[in-house]
């Protein structure tokens, strides 16, 4: 196989994701976005700013969970503020079209402090475990409360989201079995369990805040649609998970947007759903840019840097 073929295969996920994102954008521009922007441009910008602020707070919550889990599983020799800054700084790396670029960039920032690749992998597995737990709890609560409509019109997307949930759980279970240290450290003591539950709470709150951002954007493009925070948070969780397990799609490019559009469409209409999904993607990108800027400042201020082997906590 030629080098060109190899490059095409490596970029297949990115190309498909970009095509999917363009399709969602076309739907949004076809009928969802123009009315909202033409009627109330100031309101649209204000809603986008509010969604960006909510997603920035969600990034802060995710960063707090990352610090808790990293200190629980790896115990790195660096200040909390520096760890938090590294998390925020590497948020934009999620959009790099290279598999694992986000975690590679994070490890590159942690490595000077004595964190090994194995320890970075352990922290990543702990993070995935807590994230999936948060998604599962959110979906369970929504199902018990009767907020999930299992008879949605575009059912293929719903079933795809559920399938990816199962695949992600199975893959994580295999990783945990292969590296038992993750479970051993997370459940080593009552204090460790409490810290893990705190991280799960952070991730659940992150998903709910993202759902709140989506709810505001949906109200802008489809004012008559029902506003259900729990249902929208569950849709966000399903779309996020679908983007996570789809290989080769940076930050779930296209995949999350398509799934979210399909899940929203039965209550808002296809064009309005696409407009809300595009708005959420834009707000997410702006929030990640703000987070990266704040992380750059925090890492720069973490001076003097602790030497390897010195615990400054």
pLDDT tens column, 234-245? 889 888 877 877
- Cα(77)–Cα(62) distance, integer angstroms: 21
pTM over 0.85: no
Report yes or no: 125 and 236 within 8 Å, Cβ to Cβ. no
Instruction: Indicate whether 158 pLDDT > 60.
Output: no
> HSE on the CB side for 74, CA within 13 Å?
28
Report yes or no: 261 and 32 within 8 Å, Cβ to Cβ. no
Instruction: Indicate whether 214 pLDDT > 80.
Output: yes
Name which residue leads in pLDDT, 77 or 25: 25
Cβ count near 145 (within 10 Å):
12
Output the six-digit token pair for 75.
């115990």
Averaged pLDDT for residues 194-202: 87
- Tell me the pLDDT band of 110, cut-offs 50, 70 and 90: confident
- Quick one: which of 253, 271, 252, 251 has its CA closest to 261? 271
- Cα(4)–Cα(8) distance, integer angstroms: 6
């Amino acid at each position: 196989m030629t080098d060109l073929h190899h490059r095409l295969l490596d970029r297949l996920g990115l190309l498909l994701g970009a095509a999917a994102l363009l399709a969602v954008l076309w739907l949004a521009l076809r009928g969802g976005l123009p009315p909202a922007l033409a009627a109330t441009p100031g309101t649209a910008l204000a809603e986008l700013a509010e969604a960006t602020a909510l997603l920035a707070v969600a990034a802060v919550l995710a960063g707090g969970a990352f610090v808790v889990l990293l200190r629980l599983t790896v115990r790195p020799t660096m200040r909390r503020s520096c760890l938090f800054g590294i998390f925020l700084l590497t948020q934009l790396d999620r959009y790099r079209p290279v598999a694992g670029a986000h975690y590679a960039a994070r490890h590159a920032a942690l490595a000077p402090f004595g964190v090994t690749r194995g320890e970075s992998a352990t922290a990543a597995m702990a993070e995935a475990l807590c994230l999936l737990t948060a998604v599962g709890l959110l979906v369970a609560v929504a199902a018990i409360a009767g907020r999930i409509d299992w008879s949605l019109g575009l059912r293929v997307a719903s079933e795809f989201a559920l399938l990816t949930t199962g695949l992600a759980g199975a893959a994580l279970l295999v990783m945990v079995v292969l590296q038992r240290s993750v479970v051993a450290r997370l459940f080593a003591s009552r204090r460790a369990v409490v810290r893990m539950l705190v991280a799960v709470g952070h991730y659940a709150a992150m998903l709910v805040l993202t759902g709140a951002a989506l709810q505001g954007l949906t109200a802008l493009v489809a004012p008559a649609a029902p506003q259900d925070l729990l249902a929208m948070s569950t849709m966000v969780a399903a779309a996020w998970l679908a983007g996570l397990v789809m290989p080769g799609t940076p930050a779930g490019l296209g995949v999350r947007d398509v799934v979210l559009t399909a899940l929203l469409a039965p209550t808002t209409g296809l064009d309005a759903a696409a407009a809300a999904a595009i708005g959420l993607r834009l707000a997410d990108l702006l929030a990640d840019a703000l987070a990266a800027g704040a992380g750059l400042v925090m890492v720069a201020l973490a001076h003097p840097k602790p030497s390897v082997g010195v615990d400054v906590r």
